[in-house]
Structure 1
Amino acid sequence: MEIEVVKENGEILKQVVELGTKNSKTLGHFPEGAYVDHARKGFLICAHQERILLGYILFSITSSKSYVRIIQLCIADEARGTGVAKELLNSLKNKFRFSLKGIALSCRCDYIEATSLWEKYGFKAMDKVRSRSLKENYLFKWWYDFGNHDLFSLSHSNSSKQKALLDANILIKLRNDRKDEISGTNFLLDDWLISEIDFFYAPEIYNEIKRDKNDQRARETRAFLSNFYEAKFDPDLRDIILEKLHPIISGSSENDLSDKRQLAECIAGEINYFVTTDEKILVADSEVNKLFGIQILRPIDIILRIDEDNNKSNYQSTRIAGVNYENGFLKSGEIDDLVDTLFDKNNSEKKHELRSIFTLASVNIKDCRTRVIRDNNRVILGVWISELSPDRLLIPLLRTTKSKLSSTLFKQIVSELINYAVIKKRNLIVIYDGFIATNDQETLENMGFLLKDGEWSKLAIRAIIRSSQLFDFGYVSDHYDEKSIKRRLSDISNSDEFLISLERKLWPLKFSDVDIPTYIIPIKPFWASQLFDYYAANDSIFGAKASVVWNRENVYYRNVKPVSEKNPSRILWYSSSSSDKYSIRTSSIVACSYLDESQIGEAKELFRLFKHYGIYEWKNIFQLAKHSPKTIIKALKFSDTEVFKYAVPFSQVNDILFTNGRKRNSFTGPLEVSNQIFLEIYKLGVNHK
């Protein structure tokens, strides 16, 4: 028996689809395209004997919650009871045991054989919930813990789900249990989605029910709505939004108006997805998204996009280009405005306590700084207070207001606070604001903060060390399980995987003894300035203005070259020469990032997949693809960029290459380099020594 990752175009995949379809009654409906999509991502593992499929396990990674979710585990009839399931689970566990929290899955309680398997393997039945199916089925929510809570502080159960509103037509189809293979409506009630997404309905549906002449059927529809959540919103805001929708979406019939009201209620309720099969609504997706930051999707698309969008805490990433924001100190007369705007009445925060925080910070002129970010209309976007103690940076308050920018702004503020602590040589950051939203807590966790006794803390060290030196720094033993980490570091077979995960959590700390690929990748100065190089944009968040995008993750598109980048890996960004106005910091390496994903495909398809990252518009991609949407290009998804204060010029980079036995290079395409070359360039970029 052999265990391997299924390839998207292999013969084994066809057998997987056949086996999954054969067992769809218990597994749940799963479209063939979804199997292909998971195989493309490497999220499908099989067991076979001489290329004959014995079983498979299909899963996804929920990065924002740091766990792997099993969608399907299926064993061929003739292979059951032979240990195939255990081997597949072992393979999945070994693949992710050092980088994620654990494995989650949902399984019906009446599936006795499966229940026995999970329990025997060591899974824990964390909860029992009702299935969304029409029949009264119940699910166990199983959890297998990897024990990585010295690295990850929030448990999977604390993370918020995605939210989507189903329009009336979708809900009626679900009520009638209609099979709709084209739109995928019937797949919305599959059990595996229950732990990933909450479905809502718009109150406008009650008006549609009222028009039903069949009273018995109307009562059944109202009762059916109890399986979903009702959207809550400000009706005045709904009406304002509705007026803006009229010129965007065609149609004036009673049904058309009702559809628009449902969409308006979805937007006003701050629900990020509107699920429909109405073409009049679907064709307005781009314009509605531009105005309100909401996505309009067909049922099957919301299912296939869960994995992509699950990493976003509360809204899709967007870039701000060509806009300056005021980022200044707290001024007299502003405290009342800030208190009224920021106090968390939903969680019983007291205004006088919040006012006290601002007051104490204002009088502590020597050690405290309060920063306020406003847009061009003077609307408050974010506020934070930092205090320098003798050995740490204290953050008593860190808030962003509800807007399309709130999530990305929060991430950028945290990044700048880390840099600020490094500059001020405070090795520890402590955030003790007791009213940080759950979504922002996920951001803190993903950026390496640990929650202990109600405080979020993170080491803030910019240095290059060997992993064995980690516990030479103060505070490390207080915040990490030294014994557990040293044990994992001693495991030679998994040490690099674990070190990479640990380095990401300890950003910007770098380990010199980690084996991770590194690429020097050329980028035009304009895109560098817009994507990450705030020095080239002549700005930073601690300056007077902010014109850089506040994004932790981004995507860069380029031509396909011989170098096939692996991930995870490091990127050194080489800003090429230019004669335009963005010509500062050119012909030099200006930043480093982590490469999270590299995809090659047709230009139009890649743009569709990644259009919510970065600043690229289709016209930019179309030009790169030489005016053909089917041209094969490459998309590099990267994160945690560290911009070099001192750009490393072309000549010095080539000197480093030469002294390390490499030929000089013009950097017209990606170049893979050694870890030693990376470290030498990195030292110059951050220290100028």
Structure 2
Amino acid sequence: MEAQALEGTIAAQLVNLVRESAGKSDVNVIRVTDQHCGPTLGQALTDDGFVATDSGWIGITIRRALRTREVAEIVARSASALGLNPPGDDLWPVLPEIPSAEQARAIEHKLRPLRLADAEIPTFIVPIKPKYSSDLFGYPSHLFERPHQLGISMEHVYYRAANGNEQGPARILWYLSGEKFSEVFACSTLIEAVDAQPKTLYRRFRRLGVYSYADVAEAAEPTGMARALHVIDTHQFRRPISGRVLRALYQEHRQSFSVQWPTLLQPPLAADLLMRGYDGDR
């Protein structure tokens, strides 16, 4: 059973690496033509958003934060270039004019690392200390080796006190805080926020996080309850948004600047930050 689980994890990571490579090259369409992928890799492709066609497995990747209509245009052009049907089937999803939070989460995962800037999906800014972000997300890099299980994982968990209002589906913009750091460096999809006693959370999510049990217990003080933020589809920005720019954008959008704890961003500010973060990838 463990061997099968590891095989599936490696297959998922390989598919994700192909998607990341295509995104870095500004390629929107990925075609896998190997006719002997096997059931494990085939399942990994399906889970990743690829669709089996007569010409192979096809997936779409968009490394931008865009308005929904702009995404629809890219999808239509890609379909036309491949000689496939217009949007409406499994590969080319119909994009509603204003996607709901659940629709946006599904579309962003299928076309990831896309972010729909105008979708009705809550976006939180969450502070994280460098010592935890280095192991959890590999940023900032340090001399010590990152835990292997986190390096190949497609999902992660971050613990904090159970006194916030984060709920999935939502997005998280990660704010690196510390003496040498003040920047937004990545975006994740929040699929669930789980409140429980430290032992329960640690037992359930231990393999996906970097906190020790003592850390989780400390985060639970003084109420005795901690919160696990369970995230997927994390994308690091090539050029993080500096603290100086972040403060200026808060002021421009008339939102009080506070990043000491998770904060729900006003939709216009969230859209601006997403587009700036992903534009820095180009």
Normalising by structure 1, what TM-score? 0.36
Give me the whole-angstrom Cα distance separating, in 2, the residues matched to 1:456 and 1:625. 45
C-alpha change, 1:512 and 1:518, in structure 2 (3 Å) is: same
> For 1:424, which of 25, 28, 39 is the aligned residue?
25
C-alpha contact 2:11 2:40 (8 A) present in aligned 1? no
1:536 to 129, 132, 140: 140
1:573/1:592 contact within 8 Å kept: yes
1:569-617: per-residue Cα shift (whole Å, max 9, x none)? 0000111114xxxx5xx22111000000101111111112222323343
Q: Is the 8 A contact 1:499 1:514 kept in 2?
A: yes
Alignment of 1:81-96 (within 5 A): none
Residue 663 of structure 1 corresponds to 256
Q: Is 1:489 aligned with 2:93?
A: no
CA contact (8 A) 1:523 1:575 kept: yes
Name which of 79, 82, 85 aligns with 1:476. 79
Structure 2 counterpart of 1:632? 225
Partner of 2:118: 513
Question: 3-state DSSP class of the match of 1:612?
Answer: helix
1:524 Cα deviation from its structure 2 partner: 1.2
The answer on whether the counterparts of 1:595 and 1:637 sit within 8 Å (CA) in structure 2 is yes
Structure 1 residues 613, 483: closer, same or farther in 2, change over 3 A? closer
Preserved CA contact (<8 Å) 1:422 1:461: yes
SS for the counterpart of 1:668 is coil
The CA deviation at 1:487 is 6.4
- 1:621 match: 216
Query: Which letter does structure 2 place at the counterpart of 1:618?
Result: Y
Identity in percent: 26
State the distance in 1 between where 2:94 and 2:72 align.
13
- State the one-letter code of the partner of 2:47: N
Tell me the equivalent position of 1:411: 12
Amino acid at match of 2:188: S
Give the counterpart letter for 1:621 in structure 2: V
- Cross-structure match for 1:610: 205
Q: Which residue of 1 aligns with 2:37?
A: 436
Pair 1:597 & 2:187 matched: no
Structure 1 residues 407 and 530: CA distance shift in structure 2, 3 A: farther
Partners of 2:93 and 2:197 lie apart in 1 by: 45
- Give me the whole-angstrom Cα distance separating, in 2, the residues matched to 1:480 and 1:498: 21
Say whether the 8 Å CA contact 2:101–2:122 is kept in structure 1: no
Q: Which amino acid aligns with 1:530?
A: D
In the alignment, does 2:162 pair up with 1:560?
Answer: yes
RMSD of aligned Cα (Å):
2.9
Cα gap change, 1:523 to 1:514, in 2 (>3 Å): same
Residue 278 of structure 2 aligns with an amino acid whose one-letter code is V
Match of 1:672 in 2: 264
Change (3 A) 1:450 1:675: farther
| Residues 150-229 of structure 1 mapped to structure 2, 5 A cutoff | none
Rate the CA distance shift 1:655–1:558 in 2: closer, same or farther, 3 A.
same
Which structure ranks higher in relative contact order (CA pairs < 8 Å, sequence separation ≥ 6)?
2
User: Deviations 1:92-138 (Å, cap 9, x if unpaired)?
Assistant: xxxxxxxxxxxxxxxxxxxxxxxxxxxxxxxxxxxxxxxxxxxxxxx
Displacement, 1:496?
A: 5.0
Secondary structure at the counterpart of residue 475 of structure 1: helix
1:648 matched to 2:236? The reply is no
- CA gap 1:576/1:488 in 2 versus in 1, 3 angstroms: closer
3-state DSSP of counterpart to 1:661 = coil
Q: What residue in structure 2 maps to residue 120 of structure 1?
A: none
**SS in structure 1 of the partner of residue 159 of structure 2:** strand
Secondary structure class of the residue paired with 1:461 = coil
Code of the aligned partner of 1:611? R
For residues 193 and 85 of structure 2, the distance between their equivalents in structure 1, rounded to whole angstroms, comes to 32
Query: Partner amino acid for 2:251?
Result: F
Q: Name the SS of the counterpart of 2:21 in structure 1.
A: helix
Which residue of structure 1 lines up, in the alignment, with residue 106 of structure 2?
Answer: 501
* Partners of 2:115 and 2:190 in 1: CA distance: 15
Aligned residues of 1:519 and 1:670 also touching (Cα < 8 A): yes
d(CA) in 2 for partners of 1:592, 1:678: 11
Q: Tell me the matched-pair count.
A: 272
Q: Please, which of 155, 177, 180 is the counterpart of residue 576 of structure 1? A: 177
Distance 1:681 1:446, change over 3 A: same
TM-score (normalised: structure 2):
0.84
For the pair shown, the structure with the greater C-alpha radius of gyration is 1
How far does the alpha carbon of each residue in 1:458-495 deviate from its partner, in whole angstroms, 9 at most, with x for none?
A: 112212333233342232355675246786726x7x75
SS of the equivalent of 1:415 reads helix
Are the equivalent residues in 2 in contact too, given 1:434–1:454 (CA < 8 A)?
A: no
Give 1:681's aligned residue. 273
2:162 corresponds to 1:549: no
Contact 1:571-1:595 within 8 A present in 2 as well: yes
Q: 1:632 to 1:471 in 2, by over 3 A?
A: closer
User: Aligned partners of 2:122 and 2:36: how far apart in 1?
Assistant: 40
Structure 2 Cα separation of the partners of residues 506 and 487 of structure 1: 13
SS of structure 2 residue aligned to 1:489: coil
SS in 2 for 1:686: helix
Cα separation, 1, equivalents of 2:131 and 2:119 = 32
What is the identity, as a one-letter code, of the residue corresponding to 2:266?
A: S
Distance in structure 1 (CA, Å) of the matches to 2:220 and 2:94: 49
Once the two structures are superposed, residues 315-373 of structure 1 have per-residue CA deviations (whole angstroms, 9 ceiling, x without a partner) of 2xxxxxxxxxxxxxxxxxxxxxxxxxxxxxxxxxxxxxxxxxxxxxxxxxxxxxxxxxx
Determine if contact 1:470/1:476 at 8 Å carries over to the other structure.
no
Note the C-alpha offset of 1:646: 1.1
Is the 2:101–2:120 contact (alpha carbons within 8 Å) kept by the matching residues of 1? Answer: yes
